Amino acid sequence: MARKKSLDDGPVLRGQILECASRLFYERGFGATSIRDIAEAVGISSSTMYHHFTNKQDVLHAIVFRFMTDFVEATVPTLSDRSLSPTERIRRTVRLHIEISDDRRPELLVGNPIRYALTPAQKEQGVKLQTVYHDAVRDTIKDGAQAGEFTVENLAITTMAVLDMLNGIREWFSPNGPLTRDEVIDHYVDLVLTILAARPGTSSGSAI
């Protein structure tokens, strides 16, 4: 029998717990996964699990918060990079959004219970990170409209339409499908720029 992992593994063990828990939540659902299930998948005792997390809800919160933090740290600097044109910032962000969503799909899909399974304080943390990303996308679209790169009649609705479209990819995209991920990204870049009525010739990397 393999040696049980101990508390001495520290942060490494915590990361393994989050990886296994996100996979189990993705495969079985949050409600159907127990603390014991997670502990067995990691190779630790339930008591060790409780040393790191008070309950299953705290595990979910840690997964969602880690993913959202990493997502914001990967996308917002690109959206805020004024050395790039708004069009190029949108192009790069569409790619990042799809790549991160696909690479870390189990963590992303458990984000849905954020509205149901988390405490108000935990939910607020997640919503704040979502808002940071939403606002950065909105501000980039606004920059593009002011620069004459985009034509947008309603900034708020257009922003939500773009984000809803990007978030929906995780529901249907499969690496075994007829299109590769890069092909899907190219299609979605074109779709987003069509929604924004992007002016031809504004796709260069430098700001105008």
Whether the pLDDT of residue 136 is over 50: the answer is yes
Whether the pLDDT of residue 112 is over 70: the answer is no
Q: Among 49-53, 74-78, 90-94, which stretch is predicted with the lowest mean pLDDT?
A: 49-53
Whether the pLDDT of residue 202 is over 70: the answer is no
Counting beta carbons within 10 angstroms of the beta carbon of residue 202, is it exposed (0 to 12), middle (13 to 18) or buried (19 or more)?
middle
Whether the pLDDT of residue 128 is over 70: the answer is yes
Q: Is the dihedral of CA 16, 128, 126, 48 positive or negative?
A: positive
Residue 208's pLDDT is what? 43
CA gap 62, 73 in Å, rounded: 16
Q: Whose CA is closest to 162, among 183, 136, 181?
A: 136
The 10s digit of each residue's pLDDT in 3-14 is: 455 544 567 899
Q: Whose CA is closest to 61, among 142, 69, 196, 96?
A: 69
The 10s digit of each residue's pLDDT in 141-171 is: 999 999 999 999 999 999 999 999 999 998 8
Counting beta carbons within 10 angstroms of the beta carbon of residue 150, is it exposed (0 to 12), middle (13 to 18) or buried (19 or more)?
buried
Instruction: Determine contact, residues 196/151, Cβ cutoff 8 Å.
Output: yes
Supply the pTM of this predicted model.
0.86
